[in-house]
Amino acid sequence: MSTAAGLVLALASSFALNWGWLAQHGAAAALSKLSLRTPLRSMRLLFENRAWLAGFLAGIGGWVLYISALALAPLSLVQATSAGGIGLLAALVHRRGERLGRGQWIAVALAVAGLGLLAASLAGGAAGGRAPDRTALAIWLAVSALLAFVSAATPLPFAPGAGLGIAAGLLYAAGDVATKPVVYGGLWFLLVPVLLAAHSGAFVAIQLGFQRGGALATAGTASLLTNAVPIAAGIALFHEHLPSGLLGGTRVLAFGLVVAAAGLLARPDDAPAAGVPPPFSDAGATRA
C-alpha cells in the first residue's frame, strides 16, 4: 500500500514540476537575456517576475512531493511514474497555442503508454532495493556531471535549447539519484551538498535553455531524462529487482518507452529563437 501511495505522490509531483517548468519557460522567454556573466542581474530578473516566481514555487512544492514519494516507493518506479507528467506538459503547451509536431505527440503517447504499462506491472509486486555501493554511486554522479557539461557546451542546431535541456535533465537526475540514499539517513546525509549542487546547476541550465528553445525541447527533454536516468540507476545502483515472467517484461517495456519518448523530444521541432545570444554573451536582447 505504501508503494501505491508513493506512486500517487510521484504523479502529483510530476504535474507540479511540469506545470512549474512551463510557467517558468513562458516568463523567461519574454525577459531580457539571461547571462552567466551577470548572475545577480539575471536572478533579479527572474525573481521579480510574478509568473516565473509562481512556476518556481510550484516546482519547489513538486520537489517536496517527490522526496515524500521516494520515502515510500523504489526509485525506478517513482521515476517511471513521474514520466506521465509529460502528457500534462504537452496538453498545457498545446493549450497555450504553441504548435506541436507529430514526433512530439508520438513522444507524449509513448510516455503515457509507458506509465500505463508500469501500472499494470505493479501486479507483480514492487521492486526491492538497498543502499548503493559508494564507489559506484560516486562514479555515476561524476559521469552524469561530465555528460551534462558536454551537452551544455554543444548546442544542437536542429533543436535549439535541447542541449541545455539535456544538461538540465542529467543534472536533475544526478540530484535525484543522490536524494534516494539521503532518505536512508545516517552518513548518507553527507550527500546533501552534492544533490544541492546538482539541482543548482540544473536550474541554471534550464533557465538558459528556456530563452533558446521551445517548452518541449527544453522542459520536456529535461523532464524525461530526469526520469529515465534514475530508472536505470534504480536497477544498476540500488539493486531494484524486476518481477518475473510477463510482468517483468511489461515493466522493461514501460521503461523503454519512457527512454524512447525522451529521444523523440530532442529531435527537431521548433525554429531557432531569434535574437537570443549564447549563455556567456553580454550583448543585450529582449524577447517579445
CA–CA gap between residue 202 and residue 130 (Å, rounded): 27
272 pLDDT above the threshold of 60: no
Lowest mean pLDDT among 63-67, 274-278, 282-286: 282-286
Task: Evaluate if residue 136 carries a pLDDT over 60.
Answer: yes
On the question of pLDDT at 278 being above 60, the answer is: no
Side-chain-facing half-sphere of 42: CA atoms under 13 Å:
21
pLDDT for the residue numbered 174: 96
Confidence class of residue 128 from pLDDT cuts 50, 70 and 90? low
Burial 159-191 (b: 16+ CB within 10 A, else e): bbbbbbbbbbbbbbbbbbbbbbbbeeeeebeeb
What was the pLDDT predicted at 126? 54
Tell me what pLDDT residue 252 has: 83
Q: Is 211 helix (H, G, I), strand (E, B) or coil?
A: coil
The three cell numbers locating residue 168? 538540465
- Taking 90 as the threshold, does the pLDDT of residue 180 lie above it? no
Rounded-to-integer distance, Cα 266 and Cα 176, Å: 21
Cell 536524494, residue located? 179
Buried b (16+ CB within 10 A) or exposed e, 205-221: bbbbbbbbbbbbbbbbb
**Residue 275 confidence (pLDDT) above 50:** no
Lowest mean pLDDT segment, chosen from 64-68, 96-100, 151-155: 96-100
Give the pLDDT confidence score for residue 205 in this predicted structure. 92
Predicted confidence (pLDDT) at residue 184 exceeds the cutoff of 70: yes
Residue 162, all three cell numbers:
535541447
Where residue 280 falls among pLDDT bands split at 50, 70, 90?
Answer: very low
Share of the chain above pLDDT 90, in %: 29
Q: What is the mean pLDDT of residues 8-37?
A: 88
For helices 221-236 and 134-153, what crossing angle results, to 10°?
Answer: 160
Confidence (pLDDT) at 268: 54
User: Residue 32 in 3-state DSSP?
Assistant: strand
Cell of 117: 504499462
Which has the higher per-residue pLDDT, 191 or 14? Answer: 191
pLDDT digits (tens, 9 = 90+) for 77-117: 787 777 767 676 777 777 677 677 787 788 778 877 877 78
**Cell reading at 39:** 548572475
pTM: 0.75
pLDDT 10s digits, 228-260: 788 788 878 988 777 778 888 887 888 788 777
